[in-house]
Amino acid sequence: MIRQMKPWCMVPAEPIITLLPTLKWQADAGVPASANAAALILYVVLAFVAQRGSEEDAGTILGRASVSYTELETITGLSRALISAGLKRLAELNLVTVSGSNQKRVYLITWNGGRWFKLPCQAIFSDGKINAFRRLSLRSKRDLYALKLYLYFASIRDNRTMFSMASHERIHEKTGIPENEIRRAHSLLTSVGLLAAIEREFKGLEKTNEPNKYYLTGYQAFGLSTANAA
C-alpha cells in the first residue's frame, strides 16, 4: 500500500530534461505511440513513492521505489500493457534500473548527483490516486506535450520564486513542443489539475510582453530559500 505523500519530492534534472525534445509521439515495432507519455507519468510516480538512497548510493541512485503493477494501475489509471511499455522506455533511457525478482521488483531512480528540482506530491495525490494523470486519455500527442511541459516548468523554477517563467520560444527549444501547441498543452495541464494558475504581464511603457508565470498545483509547498536553487 502506498504511504502518505510528502509535500514535495526530489527529481533529478538530468538526463530527463535533456531528453524531453527526443521523446516523440510515435508507434514503433509494436510499441504504442503513447509509451513515452506513459514513461513520464511513471517516472513521476516512482519519484513520489521512492525511498531516498543510502550513503552507498550517493551520486548514482536518488531513491528506490518498491511498487506493484496493481498499485501503479490504481495511481495512474494506466493499463498493465502501458505500464509495461512505459517502464521499458524508462529503462531504455537509463532513467530507471530494475532489481529484485518478478514477485518483488524495485525500481532504482538513477542520478548523477547533479542538479535536481522539486515536484509537489501531496497536492495531486488523493486516496491512493493521482487523478490528474488518470484524466489524461493518452490518445493524442497533446498529452505527451502537456507532460513534457509539466516537467520542464518544474525544472526551471528557482527556490526564490513560487512560479516558473519561460517564453514560448524557450519552451520549444528545450522541450521540442511546437510553439503553436504550447497554449493547448498548458490549457490541458490546467484542465486536469496539474497547473494552478498562469499570470500574464504586459509592460506598457516598453510595449513588450514578459514571459508568462506558471504556478504548478501545490506550489505553496515549495518554500523559498537561496539554497539549492533548482
Give the per-residue pLDDT at 226: 41
pLDDT digits (tens, 9 = 90+) for 142-171: 999 999 999 999 999 988 999 999 999 999
Distance CA 28, CA 189 (A): 27
Distance CA 82, CA 164 (A): 30
Give the per-residue pLDDT at 223: 78
pLDDT digits (tens, 9 = 90+) for 84-120: 999 999 999 999 999 876 667 899 999 988 999 999 9
Nearby residues of 42 by Cβ (< 8 Å), 6 or more positions away: 72, 76, 78, 83, 86, 87, 90
Length of the chain (residues): 230
Kindly state the cell numbers that stand for 19.
531528453
Give the per-residue pLDDT at 229: 34
Give the per-residue pLDDT at 204: 55
Q: Which residue numbers in the chain have pLDDT < 50? A: 226-230
From 220, 218, 199, 219, select the one nearest 210 (Cα to Cα): 199
From 129, 149, 152, 151, select the one nearest 141 (Cα to Cα): 149
**Spans of all domains in the chain:** 8-221
Where residue 79 falls (left for φ over 0; alpha for ψ -120 to 50; beta otherwise) is: beta
Distance CA 101, CA 106 (A): 8
